[in-house]
Every structure is written in structure tokens, then in C-alpha cells.
Structure 1
């Protein structure tokens, strides 16, 4: 997995998955990351639809579990039982939490720390450089994720990003041409609510169309 892709090499993460048939279709499309939300307040809370055993049986190396201010014990248990490859921390987890979490999961499990970007970026995120494997930049909101709204990507040009990162928040066919304005290109694009029929049910044809157009443009 490349650390910093060229503009014609975006990887893709589809988040908020709840349906096994759609997951299999995405796997057949060679989608790089499959996102499962383990946040009970989310309309895409995966355990309302799939069991940990069913998730564990999905044969893919990019299974991402999304957690929001969850306990270390619960994260570790779900990661083990669902055989997750990545843990995405989407809440207010600090460096001490992440240090303790790292001790409680297998070393091959990769950690993604989310930063929610508003009109400005005011995080001291360099403290996470040695603690996580990836960053993820998403649009800030009172809720956690799935807003379908885009933050000003030019903010990313004002900060020094030392990790490969995922770009999230309202990515769509209407704005992907603006990706070229970002100096430090993302490793992966993270799509969710803009590609749904309803929460948790993906529009597979729209995702296929998106992947084809991104390849043509970049």
C-alpha cells in the first residue's frame, strides 16, 4: 500500500456498510477499504444488521471498524471477534487513550485517527504522529460523520500532514475535480452518504460510476 499516491492512484473506502450482498459486490469491484460503523447512535450502526461473526467471515484485508468514544475493552473485543484490519477513532480519543488501545489489540491492526475540520483547523495533531498509522479528515458537525457536507479542502494546504490520510465528508462526482488543488494528496477517498439509497444501503451503480470517472480524470 503506497504511502503517498500520485493523483491517479486514489484508493477508495466505502463506509457505513450493512448488507452482505452489497459488500460482496464492492469486493468484486476491488474496493480497498470496507467501513463498518460500531456507533449505536448512527443510522448505519452495523450490529443492527450483521453479527460480528458475519463480519469476521468477510474475506477482505481492508475491514475498518469505526468507533466513537467507545471503551478500549469494547473496541478490542469487537476488533478481535470481527477480525478487523483497521480501527478508525472518530470521537474525542486522546493520545493516552490511543497508547492504551495499542497495547490491547494485535500489532498488525492499523489505527486511523479522525480530525473533524470546520472553518479552520486548530488541532495539535502532530502528537498523534507516532501513535497512529493514518489520519482521516472529515467535516465537523455536532453529530459524528455522515453529514454529506464538504469542508474547505484548501485548509489542508495550510498544515503539514506527515501521515498518509483518508479524505472524507461529502465527496461526490460534483466536487472530485477539486482534488487536484490539494498539495499533499490523500491516500484514499472515503465515501458514504452521497452514495446511498437510504442509510446503510449503497447505490452500487453510482459507486461504479464514481470509480470509473475518478480513474478517467486522474
Structure 2
């Protein structure tokens, strides 16, 4: 399972987290977020997929940031339409596209069909007052009914205490032949000492256990 660490802000913290070799590092471009990124990204390993996170931004704005920061993925966290996602795909054919959907007590999976042709992954986050980083989880059991073949990221208030829950959820998916669809977990606020600053020790411990490199 892949790991994405999102909401990076501070140069030395970015370097420290990158040294753990997460699969994705996310940088948020949304002025209303306390993790809004406005700086330069230090040099990090090319194997890590730098990801720009956007909320209802113009296509031109997304393309500008992808070109400036050499992002390998974009995460669309607003109300972006299937047509918008198709426009991003056309403008950035080599860039992975992750479309976010917010979940609380239920979710209408039919909405996904029109996005499948234009995105690489879905990401399911907790519906709350903020566009991400709300710090609490939705009921993952809802995803037992996931009908799509598009792999997804699991997000929303995931913390160090959720390792067993993640593994248990993955086992449930295995029983229904959907284990491969859980592509990655997205980590943010529960691993922070303050908005945008990650606890590297906690992340490392979580990574080792999730990846199976620690007994």
C-alpha cells in the first residue's frame, strides 16, 4: 500500500519527511487552508511523486503550478466536474489525476462513473467544514460497496492509532476481491505538531508497520 503525506509547508520538515521515502508528498494551493503553500520545494528524491492539491482552481492555474514545481500528480479537492477533469487530462497528459470525494454517513457511488475516463485515482475524505484536514474519519464500511475499478486513496483523520483498523479494512476488501483497489492512505493532520509541520518520528513508525518492514 502506498503512502501519501499531505499538507507540507516547511523546507526542513519537507526534507525530513522525504527522507522516509513516502510515495507521494502533497502541497496545497488553496488560500483558505492553514497549509496553503507559497514557498519553494527543496530538492527531494525523484521517486517521490510531488502532488499539487487544488480546490476549484482554473485549469491555467493548475498547469502553471505543475510546470513550476514539476508535480507528477494533481489532487482535485473541490467540486470539479467530469469535464473539468477531462480538461486537466488534456492539458497534463503525463500527470496523475486524483479526484477527491467527501463522505459522511453515505455516498452515491453512481457519481463516479462520469469521472472514470479522466482520472487515475479517487480519494475519499471526510466531509467537514474544511476542504480536508478536518481530523476525523468517516465510516470506511461505506466503501465495502465500492463498485468502480478505479483504485482509491483512503483519507480523513487517519492517525497512528488507525494501523489495525486499516489492516482490518484491507482484509474485508480482500474477502470481496477488492483489496487491490485500496491503493494508498493519505496522512495529514493527525501526524502534525502544528498545521503543515509533520511529526517525522510518528510517520516513520507508521510507515514501517504499514509497509511490513517492522516486526
TM superposition score normalised by structure 1? 0.87
TM-superposed deviation, 1:98:
1.1
Gaps of 5+ in 1: 1-9
Q: Aligned partners of 1:181, 1:33: CA distance in 2, in Å?
A: 22
1:62 to 42, 49, 58: 49
Q: Is the 8 A contact 2:154 2:186 kept in 1?
A: yes
1:156 to 143, 146, 162: 143
CA RMSD of aligned residues (A): 1.8
Q: Deviations over 1:87-106 (max 9, x none)?
A: 1000000011111222222x
2:24 to 6, 10, 33: 33
TM-superposed deviation, 1:138:
0.5
TM-superposed deviation, 1:20:
1.8
TM superposition score normalised by structure 2? 0.88
Q: Is the 8 A contact 1:56 1:81 kept in 2?
A: no
Q: 1:12 maps to what in 2?
A: 3
Q: Aligned partners of 1:96, 1:104: CA distance in 2, in Å?
A: 12
Greater relative contact order (CA < 8 Å, ≥ 6 in sequence): 1
SS at match of 1:55: coil
Q: Deviations over 1:65-91 (max 9, x none)?
A: 000011111111111111110010000
The total of aligned residue pairs comes to: 203
Q: Deviations over 1:29-50 (max 9, x none)?
A: 1111000000111000011xx1
TM-superposed deviation, 1:26:
2.1
Q: 2:15 maps to what in 1?
A: 24
1:125 to 112, 129, 140: 112
Q: 2:183 maps to what in 1?
A: 187
TM alignment of 1:85-96, pairs within 5 A: 85-96=72-83
TM-superposed deviation, 1:56:
7.6
Q: 1:3 maps to what in 2?
A: none
TM-superposed deviation, 1:213:
2.8
Q: Is the 8 A contact 2:25 2:50 kept in 1?
A: yes
1:206 to 179, 202, 207: 202
